Amino acid sequence: MPKNTVGGKKYKQQKHKTDDQPNKPLLEREEGQEYAVVTKLLGNSRVSALFYDRDLKREREIICIYAAGFDDESYKVFTKNNCKQLTPLLEKVVNNSNRKVKLVKINIDENQQIAAQLRIQSIPAVFAFKDGQPVDAFQGVIPEKKIVEFIEKSLGERLEEDHTVFYESVKNLINNKEYGEAKNLLENFLIENPQEFESFALYINCLDGLGQFEEADEFCKSLNKETLENTEVKGAIQKLSIKKENLKGPNLEELLAQLNNKPNDINTILALADKYFANDMIDEAFSLLLSNYKNHKEKIKIKLLDFFEALGGNNLKTIEYRKKFSSIMFS
């Protein structure tokens, strides 16, 4: 930076006032910026600045000034507080690390010896310590994905993030049939978390709910072998298959009429169960099958297992009707 220049503009250096508050009103700040008055030029883009934090004044050396505005009298500037941008990202990643990582924050104004030992040139500066020794570091603000990569590299293992809250919100949307919104949430998540098999299953369920069967087929074809062998993904594909098959053939009213004429016809019973299931009438589907189990044990059992797989082992309906099925089998 040329001598006596801030933000590409020349100014005449003058003696600064030392009042508790600057004479002129503060310029309008953006979020994450702090108000400061330059007190000394140090060279190499470094200055000493007096910061105003409510009723407190604090002077410190800073680097990489962002000059939003200044005047000839007091050289007022704004500096972007990148620490306030980075800290929430760090806290989010650390909180989701299953206690594999501990976050320690240090105020370098109060711990200048530590800053000197680590040769910190600018803030924010992040150091990874393992076994008491620094193993890696970065400066400035980086995206959340890069923070995860930085920590995983330092640990020598992958972080298993806790996505419980995210999944609960997506499942609530799906339960309320808000498939479009759930789909939008999952699309970005899938890119950043390719090993989260549950998210693939939920995405297929969204496409199923929206009736986007061709897109669902293309999506399933794009999945690798490991993903396709996952139980939840297999279940979602099974449910999708049942829904697609029931686009053909008689409608619900016609099947009910057929069953009324032939109440013991197994083909009609199975077709009606599929139709119930495809229309998310899960209780009706299971009740129909269980009430006819003793007369058609093998075929009903196969259909029940298909439905259990499609819903997933942890589904509340699966758990409920597995218990009822076991009770009937051993009664």
Per-residue pLDDT tens for 86-116? Answer: 888 888 887 777 677 888 888 877 888 887 8
Per-residue pLDDT tens for 188-219? Answer: 888 878 778 899 999 999 999 999 999 999 99
Per-residue pLDDT tens for 55-66? Answer: 444 544 444 333
Predicted confidence band at 48 (pLDDT cuts at 50, 70, 90)?
A: low
For 212, residues 6+ apart whose C-beta sits below 8 A from its C-beta are none
164-245 and 252-329: identical CATH topology: yes
CATH of 83-155 given 3.40.30.10, 3.30.40.10, 3.30.465.10, 1.10.3720.10: 3.40.30.10
Please state the rounded mean pLDDT for residues 214-231.
Answer: 91
The fold for domain 164-245 equals 1.25.40
Domain residue limits, the chain: 5-80, 83-155, 164-245, 252-329
Instruction: Tell me: pLDDT of 23 over 50.
Output: no
Predicted confidence band at 43 (pLDDT cuts at 50, 70, 90)?
A: low
Given this model, what pLDDT does residue 155 score? 82
Q: Round to whole Å and give the CA distance between 137 and 312.
A: 43
Instruction: Tell me: pLDDT of 34 over 60.
Output: no
Give the residue with greater pLDDT, 25 vs 107: 107
Q: What residues pair up with 134 in beta bridges, in sequence order?
A: 129
Given this model, what pLDDT does residue 38 score? 67
The half-sphere exposure of 154 on its side-chain side, counting CA atoms within 13 A, is 22
Given this model, what pLDDT does residue 1 score? 39
Given this model, what pLDDT does residue 120 score? 79
The fold for domain 252-329 equals 1.25.40
For 84, residues 6+ apart whose C-beta sits below 8 A from its C-beta are 32
pTM (predicted TM-score): 0.50
3-state helix, strand, coil in the chain (%, to 5): 50, 15, 35
Given this model, what pLDDT does residue 271 score? 93
Q: Tell me the CA distances in angstroms from 329 to 9, 208, 290, 297, 313, one per residue in order.
A: 86, 32, 10, 9, 19
Of 3, 2, 6, 1, the C-alpha closest to 75 is 6
Does the domain at residues 5-80 carry the CATH identifier 2.40.50?
Answer: yes
